[in-house]
A and B are shown apart, each in its own frame.
Chain A
């Protein structure tokens, strides 16, 4: 079926107005030998058939609500999404609108994104937020672009902690291929217990940016105040990649002196969705706003004296600056920024604090119970939030296979990215994990031999 609302009679009348005999005659400019290829695609389905086909495909998966108990995180988290979030996202006025280029008839999107920016600055403690990036990894890569622009290419070294998400480091390497950067610290074979200050050995007068994660990829909470102070003394900027749920409880990166705070806001109201679309947030200090990529909403007034909002500082962007733009970013994650704002508003200060506390409590209960099993233990002794590294007596892949056979989606096998962590699993806990689920995990591991 198609969605074309034109009858054959109307079509013929329109062709007559245009002055051509048939629809095919509209395409004379196309080289004849390539015109109208026969496409080898399955025949069209009706809506009823498509609904059934897609349902069947979706049912082939084992999902973390109906089939599997999940303790998998590593950058994507299974949180409860209040019903109200999707009800608001399903408003056609929001989801079928374009980027708000015409502010007079786009105030809904503009005010909602302005509020999203405000929620993000209040969460991170930073001064400005843009309207979002594709995901946490690309937001981090854009932090590298900001630093590169800030130093106008005069400093070209990026120091990345090895405990930044491996995929984020990979994306930074892809993004920076044309920039001639020197990348340091991006080495999974170093001593992973050395602590954040050990990065300072790599920071010098050529360093433009230091990137750390908070809590780090292994779930550890570090106070980066000293590192940031020392990096600033060398003239470098510091970017903190933060988990937004953790920020509901922990000291803000702004209070540690961070210059840029980015991260993945998927935990805030966005379904796991097999990895996307998610929501990269980007916050920084006001002094870097002109070097920041992405859309930005600012407050103003209309010609009737009403408070209103517009896209602002557009001169930084690609459609004005073209090849001199900081980034080529055009689309952001508008609808998901709205979803994030609804999530934060619907839970509010109280509900959000409850979410953070539940994550913390469940993870710590699990840690204490798992540590009691023979051969298992926590790999690191540092404070953690809702994720930790479990040391196992066997290769992580064997443990995960055994868990899966028992209906449990285990954690992330760290041996794939860190050679020294072959028998280690990164486990994540959220408010979705009941005590019973955690007890089941413990029981199943005890039975494994």
Chain B
């Protein structure tokens, strides 16, 4: 029998125990519907509130978070999440408004959304913006739908091919796949740029467009970005920008100015919306002029212009050739848009530029400190992140071992085994919210681990040692597929 550090909420249940109770009914009683429409049992836990609190407190302590320490997870932008955001997004006026209320009663929400649309357009250089997508991948799907709709509206039906660099996030090809497009992988050159020759060879009149992350997942700003965009546009394709790495570009360059047609934002990366242990995110999408008519519906717009005495009336508008609705209601308003609005309002144009400058400084500083100990396969000035190889000549230590050993030094590991084009990749993104001491301690730990890899490799193979849990048996999880639990008394009947 395995040891159990914390029982499940079902195992903690005791029949007859009650937690939060509801008031008695204040209306005359109505009989329930016919018995054959009712369920016979409700196998849910029974606990007191204190049991619930102690359970979740215990679980919270099993987590490592940005509030605990350094979390240099490449491509995820694990920056500090300002506490004020937690208060503004819970203001009663935001918390307790229904998505279908008449627009006259929710002008505060609509002004916020309208201004955020305008701000994101200004930051990215795009002509149109939707706040509806729920996450980055959802934004990508939105963008790809618009690209397909654009070609279709021109009667250009041959275009079925999406060009995607080999360094791309997995969501890029998956988004194209959802529309049945075929994916053509474009290799990177020796400096981490898109290979122009390969790209030119792939560009023809069957290209929907190209999906590019820039800076790419090696942390490199493509040195030939303008040539890449020209090649794609010359063959009639559209340029998609994956905004996952936008934290490097605020006030530095606007993707719209470079010629991108569509880009999704990750408000949960760049604009400090907390990651929440895996969501909710928020993935607004910006588009160039030629795609504005295809944006999802509805968008927030001015439905009655202002006059001398009254403010404009904000409401919803439907773009002419809209691809339709991406989700119910209007996007991740409370959890995503209010936090991002708060964050941008507190930074202003100079503060936003500071974010990207220091994010890039921190990454280059760490890269400089680790150069010589770790192989940096694409070694030039990086943007907000860089990729090192987690392997050493003559040693069987792998990136995974280094990642796990970092936990013993009280750091969250970098992203490992991504991008796929680097062997034993360690993808390190420090973000701008870390100080020099933290970066120094992290570099020291990695240098010490490199030494340990030579002298005591078993220390790395068995790591982590000081965390409450050790390495998991992932094969067992996939083979046995225990995906839920039941109340103890139900085990017998259900298993």
Contact = CB atoms under 8 A, between A and B. Distances in A.
B170 A346 contact: no
A105 B64 contact: yes
A2 interface: yes
28 contacts: A14-B436, A19-B368, A51-B87, A57-B111, A72-B101, A84-B53, A98-B76, A103-B469, A109-B278, A119-B9, A178-B181, A251-B37, A272-B96, A276-B336, A277-B279, A300-B472, A302-B472, A302-B473, A323-B182, A323-B183, A327-B178, A331-B136, A334-B275, A344-B44, A348-B20, A348-B44, A349-B46, A350-B21
Interface string B215-256: 000001111011000000000000000000000000111100
B179 A177 contact: yes
Nearest to A315: B478
A136 B99 CA distance: 14
Interface string B1-27: 011111011100100011111110111
B52 interface: yes
A101 B412 CA distance: 11
- Interchain residue pairs A-B with the least CB separation, the first 5: A58-B93, A275-B329, A275-B99, A335-B276, A92-B67
A331 B101 contact: no
Q: Is the interface of B mostly helix, strand, loop or mixed?
A: loop
Contacts, number: 709
A342 B6 CA distance: 16
B123 A39 contact: yes
Given A92-B66, A104-B464, A128-B483, A84 B361 contact: no
A276 B332 contact: yes
Contacts of A381: none
Interface residues of A, number: 210
B450 interface: no
A104 B19 CA distance: 31
Interface string A120-155: 111100011101101111100000010000000000
Interface string B459-490: 00010100111111110111011111111000
Interface in B321-351: 323-336, 338, 341-342, 344-351
Contacts of A180: 180
A358 B486 CA distance: 27
B481 A298 contact: yes
A3 to B, nearest CB: 5
B337 to A, nearest CB: 9
Interface string A62-101: 1111101010101110101010101110111111111111
Given A61-B108, A351-B21, A404-B102, A306 B3 contact: yes
B150 interface: no
B394 interface: no
Interface string B427-443: 00000111110000000
A23 B357 contact: yes
B331 to A, nearest CB: 6
A324 B99 CA distance: 35
A76 B101 CA distance: 11
